A and B are shown apart, each in its own frame.
Chain A
Amino acid sequence: GQQLNQSPQSMFIQEGEDVSMNCTSSSIFNTWLWYKQDPGEGPVLLIALYKAGELTSNGRLTAQFGTTRKDSFLNISASIPSDVGIYFCAVRLSGTYKYIFGTGTRLKVLA
């Protein structure tokens, strides 16, 4: 089936550092989503992207919809301890109501 590959799988960073992660696919998608999951909770939508090349910010988070429509990137600036969690990318299969999620990037922040 279709897969979304996220990298890195996990990362440890110091508080205050910037973070970059990405999500790639072998297929083209027209909707890219980024979610965050806190430990023991369900995912929460951070940013939705609908246009190739689009750059969208939400506070310290910035996400970009790749120009090839096969990838997306998420950056977190000046990380803080509450940024800890798993970050998932997701796409909607065109013409359907189905979503595919990536395998996640696990972020740990060292104070």
Chain B
Amino acid sequence: NAGVTQTPKFQVLKTGQSMTLQCAQDMNHNSMYWYRQDPGMGLRLIYYSASEGTTDKGEVPNGYNVSRLNKREFSLRLESAAPSQTSVYFCASSEEAGGSTDTQYFGPGTRLTVL
């Protein structure tokens, strides 16, 4: 049972380049989330998917798009990377968004630098 996996672990992009961050979970969870973590700012929600086939904006969605490919996978795309998107990106999953348990399981993170 791998839990939540993220690829790549590290990435360096030039301004204007695009890339997709991949996330997969093997816990049969319904809900998945993307956060970014900047120094001194805690985690901020970018997008979430309450269930397969649905996605919704979080606190900081500008500059990002997401795809809930199937129940297991939730990807985050940067169409035209900017230095302000330099951050550590975490994917998380939970059994049911807003259900009886609020436990989110986080992946190990992707460290992205945009030059």
Same complex origin of A and B: yes
Interface residues, chain A, with chain B CB atoms under 8 Å away: 1, 4, 31, 33, 40-45, 48, 88, 90, 92, 96-104
Nearest-neighbour CB distance to chain A for B80, whole angstroms, equals 25
Nearest Cβ in chain B — how far from A24, in angstroms? 14
Measured in the bound complex, the distance between the Cα atoms of B1 and A56 in whole Å is 29
Query: 9 A-B Cβ contacts within 8 A?
Result: A42-B108, A42-B109, A43-B90, A44-B106, A45-B102, A48-B103, A98-B58, A99-B45, A99-B102
- Of the four ranges (under 10, 10 to 19, 20 to 34, 35 or more), the interface on chain B belongs to 20 to 34
Q: Are A41 and B108 in contact (CB under 8 A)?
A: yes
Q: CA of A16 to CA of B17 in the docked complex: distance in angstroms?
A: 49
Whether B42 lies near A101 (C-beta < 8 A) is yes
Are B40 and A97 in contact, CB atoms less than 8 angstroms apart? no
Q: What is the chain A residue whose CB lies nearest that of B33?
A: A99
Instruction: Evaluate contact between B104 and A45: CB separation under 8 angstroms.
Output: yes
Q: Are B41 and A103 in contact (CB under 8 A)?
A: yes
- Quick check: B43 and A43 within 8 Å, CB to CB? yes
Q: Is B56 an interface residue (CB 8 A)?
A: yes
Q: Name the residue on B nearest A86 (C-beta).
A: B42
Complex formed: what's the CA distance from A48 to B103 in Å?
A: 8
Shortest CB distance B10–A (Å): 11
The answer to whether B106 and A43 have CB atoms under 8 Å apart is yes
On chain A, the residues within 8 Å of B90 by CB distance are 42-43
**In the complex, which residues of chain B have a beta carbon less than 8 angstroms from the beta carbon of A33?**
102
Q: Select one of A97, A100, A103 contacting B56, CB under 8 A.
A: A97
CA of A21 to CA of B59 in the docked complex: distance in angstroms? 25
Please indicate the chain A residues that have their CB under 8 angstroms from the CB of B103 in the complex. 45, 48
